[in-house]
Amino acid sequence: MRARLSPGMLAMLPVMALILLGFVVPILLVFAYSLMPPRTFSLAGEPTLANYEAAVTDGYLLPLGWSVWLAALTTLICLALAWPTAKALVRFAGRLATLATILIALPIFISESVRLFGTALFMMPGGGILAGSLNALFGLKTGSILYTKTATLLGMVYVHFPFMLFPIVLGLSLVPQDQVEAARDLGAGWLQVLREVELPLAAPGITVGALLTFVLSLGANAEAAILGGQAVTVITKAIEQRFGYAQDWPSGAALTVLVILVTAAVIFPVLRRLDLDRLIRR
Amino acid sequence: MAASAGAGAPILTLQGLTRRFGEVAAVDGIDLAIEDGEFFTIVGPSGSGKSTLIRILAGLERVDAGAVLLRGQAITDVPANRRPTAMVFQSLALFNHKTVGENIEFALKMRGVDPAARRARARELMDLVRLPETYYARPVTQCSGGERQRVALARALASDPEILFFDEPLSAIDYRLRKMLEVELKDLHRETGKTFIYITHSLEEAMVMSDRIGIMRDGRLVQIGPPLEIYQRPRSRFVAEFMGEVNVLPAAAVTGGADTEGWYVVRPEQLRPLPPDAAADIVFEAEIVNDYLLGSRKQFHARAGERLLIGEVAATAVGVPPPGEPVRLGFDLADAVRVTE
């Protein structure tokens, strides 16, 4: 007797095919290339770990470290900024909150590079919008943070803030107001309410926001290129150089695998503890 | 041992308490003194302002005017977390991410009590509210409705508050469990001797448990007194009708035109079927429309002219003819209350 696929399984087939071709196969190819001898374009070579050794000895751990560090800092800063913003949006739900949400979400619909060039114009020394305005209005001569690590970090925070904010808004909306009031009634100060009630109940939203922000920041390149100048080389820039300028696909693939491993090391332990169902079923 | 109502000085005094939401006064100049150890229930229809009032007392809502005094000390501006009171919420507001034990110990943890002492107190309270000790480590989400009520009670009692507030905690549970918990709450009040301030829209709950009842309407307490007094001697038609089924008869109809102001309110149990030779101050010739068995009581509806009268007798009583038959109904003026508003 022939086994027949259920309608649900049939409906899933196109998506499964897309995931297989668009996600699994490229990752397997990257992994395979990472084991090929340096500067080869074939998958038929003798497998070697030379590219991984080179990643360590040729100084590529530094860009990787910078990327992880900037991604972690971006995540923390976005979290610190998004929490009070999300609380205000949830607490004062209404026309003002809707307007604020639109204003925060609107930049997502504009090209990231355009936004970052705009930010660069804002930060530019002397004739930049900020420095120029301060000079013209108040006679203040200020320096500029453009083309520094700080500018890179600010750009990453600016770009990734919505990815932290909206999951936290969703998470905070899971916190019943009566439980917050009950905690207050039972003697909890605001810090205790935060620790005992709000953070645990909003945890799914915070986790999703933090993961999104971290992973996207880890893969970010434009902020370092446009706002950071040559102040810092991030791992994605190094990967781009290996694949493009250096024409060394196996080396680029090895660096990519390292980034994937770092990402997996962060994501999988967190995902195992995350009750995504609760967020989805709210 | 419970302190009896009226035995001492007020534990809680409200002076001209007012809270407005826009143009609407949810609480409108309330003056009230509640005595130590009293079980005081505020009853009123939806929107009468009773929940706002109890939230003000718990410190969860600010006031626009007036004062709240606890043993003579103003606590009007003291935040909820610094008041020696605790509330059982309508939703219970249990912390669903915590266990039964963690819920009960919450107030003690907030006060820095060490874990061993917290645990001991939690077990003591679980015993008091009749929760098995094995429930200590159980997630609160795995408890039944009645068990959750008990957890909420134990949690509120944990910090040994001077006053316990209840915001309609039994409103969402089935009849049988509610009746059981009403009795348990009354027992708990007696055993702890604490002041209970209870909000409900259920007259029955108020009658079963309270030392005194305050009837609330449009942000004001329109009558305060012991349950029986309010039931038997309502000061207004609103209170009479709110406190259960009642016959409201225009004064002119009762006095034969001698008094035309206001109404006479007669409880169904005061309106009795009269044998042919029996007398009463006021007598109606009526016809039975229908009758309903209410367990040990039987209620009947009778039409007297344009008026539909409600009477109630023991289920085993004789003298109520079947529907469609004529009947003589009467009551004595001493059993009726005349109200003018």
What does the block give as tokens for A82? 């998004």
B35 with B1: CB under 8 angstroms? no
User: Would you call A184 an interface residue with chain B, using a CB distance cutoff of 8 Å?
Assistant: yes
Distances in Å between the alpha carbon of B323 and those of B272, B300, B313, B327? 16, 9, 15, 10
Confidence check: pLDDT of A3 > 80: no
Residues A177-202 have a mean pLDDT of: 95
Residues B18, B33: Cα–Cα separation, whole Å: 16
The 8-class DSSP code of residue B333 comes to G
- Note the pLDDT of residue A69: 96
Q: Do A189 and B81 touch (CB under 8 A)?
A: yes
A191 with A157: CB under 8 angstroms? no
- Note the pLDDT of residue B333: 87
pLDDT-based confidence at A183, cuts 50/70/90?
Answer: very high
Residues B17, A78: Cα–Cα separation, whole Å: 44
* Among A181, A186, A201, beta carbon nearest to B106: A186
- Note the pLDDT of residue B7: 52
* Closest CA in chain A for residue B106: A186
Distances in Å between the alpha carbon of B56 and those of A103, B7, B45? 37, 25, 18
- Note the pLDDT of residue A2: 60
Residues A123, A231: Cα–Cα separation, whole Å: 15
Q: Which residues pair with B87 in a beta bridge?
A: B165
**A30 CA to chain B: closest CA distance, Å?**
42
- Note the pLDDT of residue B88: 96
Residues A192, B110: Cα–Cα separation, whole Å: 7
SS percent in chain B: helix, strand, coil, step 5: 30, 35, 35
pTM metric for this prediction? 0.81
User: Would you call B86 an interface residue with chain A, using a CB distance cutoff of 8 Å?
Assistant: yes
* Dihedral sign (CA B103, B109, B111, B117): positive
- Note the pLDDT of residue B243: 84
User: Would you call A269 an interface residue with chain B, using a CB distance cutoff of 8 Å?
Assistant: no
pLDDT, tens digit (0-9, with 9 covering 90-100), for A11-59:
999 999 999 999 999 999 999 999 999 999 999 999 999 999 999 999 9
Q: Do B89 and A176 touch (CB under 8 A)?
A: no
Mean of per-residue pLDDT scores for chain A: 90
pLDDT, tens digit (0-9, with 9 covering 90-100), for B37-57:
999 999 999 999 999 999 999
- Note the pLDDT of residue A158: 93
**A62 CA to chain B: closest CA distance, Å?**
42
pLDDT, tens digit (0-9, with 9 covering 90-100), for A111-139:
888 999 988 888 887 667 887 888 888 88
Largest CA distance in chain A: 87
Confidence check: pLDDT of A67 > 60: yes
By CB atoms closer than 10 A (0-12, 13-18, 19+), residue A28 is exposed
- Return averaged pLDDT per consecutive 10 residues of chain B, 341 residues in all: 53 97 95 96 93 96 96 96 96 94 97 96 93 95 92 94 94 83 91 94 88 96 94 90 87 74 89 86 89 90 90 86 89 88 79
On chain A, the residues whose CB falls within 8 A of the CB of B111 are 187
Confidence check: pLDDT of A168 > 60: yes
Chosen from A181, A186, A274, A282 to mutate, greatest number of chain B CBs within 10 A: A186
DSSP string, B28-74: EEEEEEEETT-EEEEE--TTSSHHHHHHHHHTSS--SEEEEEETTEE
What does the block give as tokens for B148? 């959750």
Q: Report helix, strand or coil for B216.
A: strand
- Note the pLDDT of residue B3: 37
- Note the pLDDT of residue B341: 79
pLDDT, tens digit (0-9, with 9 covering 90-100), for A32-41:
999 999 999 9
How many A/B residue pairs have CB atoms within 8 Å? 62
- Note the pLDDT of residue A1: 52
pLDDT-based confidence at A277, cuts 50/70/90?
Answer: low
On chain A, the residues whose CB falls within 8 A of the CB of B81 are 184-189
Q: How many CB atoms lie within 10 A of CB A123?
A: 21
By CB atoms closer than 10 A (0-12, 13-18, 19+), residue B34 is buried
A147 with A125: CB under 8 angstroms? no
- Note the pLDDT of residue A278: 62
On chain B, the residues whose CB falls within 8 A of the CB of A176 are 91, 93
pLDDT, tens digit (0-9, with 9 covering 90-100), for A213-239:
999 999 998 898 899 887 888 999 999
